Amino acid sequence: MKKMNYQNVKGTLDYLPEEEGIRRTIRRTMEDVFIQYGCKPIETPILNYQSLLASKYAGGAEILEEMYTLSDRGKRELALRYDLTIPFAKVVAMNPTLKMPFKRYEIGKVFRDGPIKTGRYREFTQCDVDIVGVQSQVAEAELMMMALDVFRRLKMDVTIQYNNRKLLVGFLRQLNITGQMVNRVILILDKIEKISKEKIKEELREAGLDQVAIDAIESFLQKDLDGIVEEYRQLAEKEEIIKQGLEEWNELQAYLKQLEIESCCLFNPFLARGLEIYTGTIYEIFLTDKSVKSSIGSGGRYDNAIGGLIGSQETYATVGISFGLDVIFAALSLENSYLEAERLDYYIIPIGRPMEAISAAKALRDQGFKVELELGKKKLAKALDKANKEGVKKVIIIGENEVDGNTYKVRDMETGEEWLEAFQY
């Protein structure tokens, strides 16, 4: 019989208890913040109809190339979700009686057949929050504040870069770039921090832009922040979408100032977020020290997706943010972070008295303590060594003497102190 070659599918990982314990701590930390901000939990299927995920109101052409597709025995064309956003938009579309504003969070697995790098895999976990029914930039400000709270609790120093798609789209319209070409150019500009400006120009030429438009974009890319804002102000007089973008940008800045977080939030006029779904403010979260180059969170406003999914002209004011659990875990691993899995309160070691030991474990668990009972036959020295390695707070030893005296011996593993406590077996 041929020996089976055991290995993971490329782009997938196993997480053993020590690592998964830390991941669960990250997840609980985020969930605590989401709940603190009044977000309600939902869960959506991993398996979806391919037509839903391939909708023009979904992720756009680039992300569809990474979508895992399959069919079932009924020949239905299905796909694994590549994010949590479109499944959420489907939920809102299918439940018109939801009370607005509706704030939800969801944490779940998603799948993309894309490039693999640090913190980016083909099966990964996203942690999303979305708000439906708020047109004001107060929704964006709340999500940005929430993100900073999450990373403050994780003791991670981050910077949020933000922009408004209306400004970029309006600028491109002024260059007579319209239709699908707008999204193609935005995808190219989205690479501004990854490739040289010469390479950007080369890709714009390959996309079919004329030299006048390329020169105008090059000139725009060379301006400083004040110069770009001034150009937008001048263009706003003849381009309505730029006027709207500036109004939203000014409103958001006022909220960020009120929250005293403007120093952590950087306006980046070249931030594009390639996904076609976005209609207004967009943002990405980066480690301030750039020890991980990828963003560790991102999102934005997508007012057309829900109405588009149900074939309605109605817009649903919607804004969301997504955190990548895997890339956050990778970043914390690089930093040798303080984060650790939740530790046991007690580890019970029976010395020939398993019946009494399991009774003691039950009594302590009934009081709410986290307790592990040694189920093997480890000698005391080996059991104590295990307790030390796993960071157990206290060890309980139950042998003949303890049972005879209706006590158990407690050892504090940090101080080495020992004492007896009464217990009726």
pLDDT digits (tens, 9 = 90+) for 123-162: 999 999 999 999 999 999 999 999 999 999 999 999 999 9
Ordered strands of the 47-49 beta sheet: 47-49, 77-80, 69-71
Q: Of 153-157, 160-164, 200-204, 234-238, where does mean pLDDT reach its minimum?
A: 200-204
Residues 6 or more apart whose Cβ sits within 8 Å of residue 17: 341
Q: Is 85 annotated as a binding residue?
A: yes
Which three-class secondary structure state does DSSP give residue 58? coil
Query: What is the Cα–Cα distance from 20 to 196, expressed in whole angstroms?
Result: 38
CA quadruple 172, 63, 300, 311: dihedral sign:
positive
Query: What is the Cα–Cα distance from 95 to 396, expressed in whole angstroms?
Result: 53
Residue 290, pLDDT above cutoff 90: no
Residue 236, pLDDT above cutoff 70: yes
Query: What is the Cα–Cα distance from 227 to 221, expressed in whole angstroms?
Result: 10
Task: Kindly state which CATH superfamily the domain 346-422 is placed in.
Answer: Anticodon-binding domain (3.40.50.800)
Which three-class secondary structure state does DSSP give residue 131? strand
> From start to end of 143-272, where are the E strands?
158-164, 265-267
Judge whether 346 and 158 are in contact, CB under 8 Å. Answer: no
Mean pLDDT of 284-289: 93
Q: What percent of the chain has pLDDT over 70?
A: 95
Residues 6 or more apart whose Cβ sits within 8 Å of residue 132: 92, 98, 100, 101, 102, 306, 316, 317, 318
Residue 159 is predicted with a pLDDT of: 96
Nearest CA among 118, 122, 41, 82 for reference residue 328: 118
- Alpha-carbon Rg of the chain, whole angstroms? 27
Mean pLDDT of 77-94: 92
Q: Is 112 annotated as a binding residue?
A: yes
Taking the domains of the chain in order of start, what are their residue ranges? 17-335, 346-422
Judge whether 289 and 157 are in contact, CB under 8 Å. Answer: yes
Judge whether 341 and 18 are in contact, CB under 8 Å. Answer: yes
Q: Is 126 annotated as a binding residue?
A: yes
Which three-class secondary structure state does DSSP give residue 49? strand
Q: Is 23 annotated as a binding residue?
A: no
Residue 115 is predicted with a pLDDT of: 87
Residue 336 is predicted with a pLDDT of: 61
Residue 391 is predicted with a pLDDT of: 86
Degrees to nearest 5, angle at CA 202 with 197 and 203: 95
Q: Is 253 annotated as a binding residue?
A: no
- Of residues 229 and 117, the one with the higher pLDDT is 229
Task: Kindly state which CATH superfamily the domain 17-335 is placed in.
Answer: Bira Bifunctional Protein; Domain 2 (3.30.930.10)
Residue 339 is predicted with a pLDDT of: 65
Hey, how many other C-beta atoms are within 10 angstroms of the C-beta on 335? 16
Query: What is the Cα–Cα distance from 407 to 422, expressed in whole angstroms?
Result: 4
Instruction: Provide the token pair at 47.
Output: 């398996």
Domains 17-335 and 346-422 share a fold: no
Burial group, residue 38, by CB count within 10 angstroms (0-12, 13-18, 19+): exposed
228 sits in which H/E element: helix 225-235
Beta pairing class for 40-41 and 47-49: unpaired
